[in-house]
Structure 1
Amino acid sequence: MKPYWEDDTVHLYLGDMREVLPALGVQADLVVADPPYTETSLAWDRWPDGWPALVAPVASSMWCFGSMRMFLDRRDDFDTWRLSQDIVWEKQNGSGFATDRFKRVHEVATHWYHGDWHSTHHAVPTEKSGRRGGGEGGLRAGATAREHTGKIAAKTWDGSDGTRLLRSVLKVSNLHGRALHPTEKPLGILDPLIRYACPEGGLVVDPFAGSGSTLDAARQSGRRAIGIEANEEYAEAAARRLDALVFPAA
């Protein structure tokens, strides 16, 4: 199958992921999915039935963006996956449509896997803490278990290298007024998820590529990427975006 756009590290395909992905026959390290949530009447906002099971043979690890309503409504579609954790993306501006509810300024990203967790790539997610230190930080197991963890040994990050574990609530501005796609995710939220679950040089697959933000984030972080987009208008926007990051040969 001929890519719509390609370079040495990124391939973008135009078409329905339910048809394109099986035809590619790829094995990847990570799937990053931002599917239609089916929360509006817009024509493109329609859940592709069966897609979580369809991507399961492609990779044993997946980040999926969504809302709580979406995950509850579609919980049976994730039967082939096991949930490891969730993170909250807090935006500076919300997109709530109702005036009788709290204004929603967040989305959820859930991490799924299948198979053995210990063989599933997951790098320790850290960030600078502002604390001074010159040693090597790391996880340390406490001598006794905390009461609320039962028999699970309490573990903390000692921070001696000036880092701390990355928090599960990530505050990243959305692209309101600048987005190329209605649900485009900023690089600031995609980068830590990709670095956590895909090794450097590994392959990321995005079955709903939109304007190419995941492909962009993967390539900038030293990963390879394959994207599939059903709408040619957005595939073209992704191609232009990726072109802008390609430097001509000297």
Structure 2
Amino acid sequence: MSDWQNQVYCEDALAGLARIPDGSVDLILTDPPYNLGKDYGNTSDQQTVEEYLRWTEQWIDAALPKLKPNGSLYIFLTWRFSPEIFVMLKKRMTMMNEIIWDRRVPSMGGSVRSYSSVHDTVGFFVGRKDYYFDLDAVRIPYDAETKKARSRSIFIGAKWLEVGYNPKDVWSVSRLHREHSERVDHPTQKPLEIIERMVKASCPPDGVVLDLFMGSGTTALAARRCGRRFVGFELNPDYCAVIAERLAALDVALEAERVIAAEAGKPPAKKTAVPKPAAKKPAAGKAAAKPSAAKPAKPKRSRSPKKAPPEEVTI
């Protein structure tokens, strides 16, 4: 493994990308600032429209050479800038999907002069036709009711019925609320469920995932949990500390799981035979007493025999 892998560098991605060899990354999965004025501890989300789009094109051109020829890219965006950025990427890659992440925002509050925005836009792009994509790794299982409805002979043995269906391009996954155990101190943290789906589908086992804007480090966690490698960049040192803490906690949890799995895989311990007590020998000079032939006791007749309870019938 190269020394730049499984690392999160606390520096600007445009400067740090030089660490990564060209053609060495299987998947770019990134969530750049949306330019909505949020406070990430710097001014990266507070640019003019022209500055923001120029900066976006700059990091795209610096990052794409790091992809392998059959690599892929996922980018989180807001509807405000996704049209312009999708056009940038379409000039360089092939667009496979526009994924809508429905954040399950409660029906309360919002603007009274427009419709409430409750989704993020995700672009899925590939470099060429033979891009890596493992659909079986992200299929969604059918429920028991659906399987029962498809029990006719023509459906027996159908792979799609057994392994599940293809995820659609609308993903309804709740945003992380403050009470959520996964939540850390980051304003735009993405759920592991979403990032892991992208990693499993578009990065081969032991492949490399690149995230130029690590934020809370969810991409790094998803890669490690899924058996992939990662590399990324984050400007804010506070977020870098959060990422380190999350990765350390994950390593402890994974090690505990390995120990439990190893113990569960051991053969059961052999039972120790319990020795039977030795028969007592008769005292010296005395003959052993002969067993007396006892007459079997006659069974007593019951004056009012009870009827056996009826057998239970399970419907």
TM-score norm. by structure 1 comes to 0.79
Unaligned runs of 5+ in 1: 138-158
Mapped to 1, the partners of 2:109 and 2:222 lie a distance apart of 27
Determine the structure 1 residue equivalent to 2:7. 11
Does 2:191 match 1:186? yes
Map of 1:148 onto structure 2: none
Instruction: Show the counterpart of 1:123.
Output: 134
AA paired with 2:116? K
2:176 corresponds in structure 1 to: 175
- Do the aligned partners of 1:53 and 1:77 also contact (CA within 8 Å) in 2? no
The residue aligned with 1:81 is: 93
Asked if 1 retains the 8 angstrom alpha-carbon contact of 2:97 and 2:169, the reply is no
Amino acid of the structure 1 residue aligned with 2:195: L
Structure 2 residue 48 is matched with structure 1 residue 40: no
Does 1:209 pair with 2:217?
Answer: no
SS in 1 for 2:105: coil
C-alpha contact (below 8 Å) 2:220/2:231 kept by paired residues: yes
Cα separation, partners in 2 of 1:74 and 1:21, compared to 1, 3 Å: same
Residue deviations 1:53-111 (CA, integer Å, cap 9, x gap): 11111113100000122122334542322211121111122799643211111111111
Gap change, CA 1:162 and 1:198, over 3 Å in 2: closer
More helix by share: 2
| Greater C-alpha Rg | 2
Structure with the larger strand share: 1
Aligned-partner SS, 1:104? coil
Alignment match, 2:20 = 24
Residues 20 and 66, structure 2, Cα contact 8 Å, conserved in 1: no
Matched to 1:33, the amino acid is: T
CA contact (8 A) 1:20 1:228 kept: yes
**Distance (whole Å) between structure 2 residues aligned to residue 21 and residue 61 of structure 1:** 17
Give the length in aligned residue pairs: 221
Instruction: Name the residue aligned to 1:200.
Output: 205
Q: In structure 2, how many angstroms separate the alpha carbons of the residues matched to 1:10 and 1:213?
A: 13
SS in 2 for 1:74: helix
Instruction: Note the alpha carbon deviations across 1:198-238, whole angstroms, 9 max, x for none.
Output: 11111101110011011101111111111111111111111
Paired residue secondary structure (1:173): coil
Give the C-alpha shift of residue 136 in structure 1.
Answer: 4.8
Deviations 1:92-135 (A, max 9, x none): 22799643211111111111122x212x1011141101133762
Q: In structure 2, do the counterparts of structure 1 residues 161 and 238 end up closer, same or farther at CA, with 3 Å as the change threshold?
A: same
- Give the secondary-structure state (helix, strand or coil) at the position aligned to 1:196: helix
Q: CA distance change for structure 1 residues 96 and 196 in 2, over 3 Å: closer, same or farther?
A: farther
* TM-score normalised by the chain length of structure 2: 0.64
1:63 aligns with 2:74: yes
Cα distance in structure 1, aligned partners of 2:20 and 2:206: 19
Identity rate, percent: 27
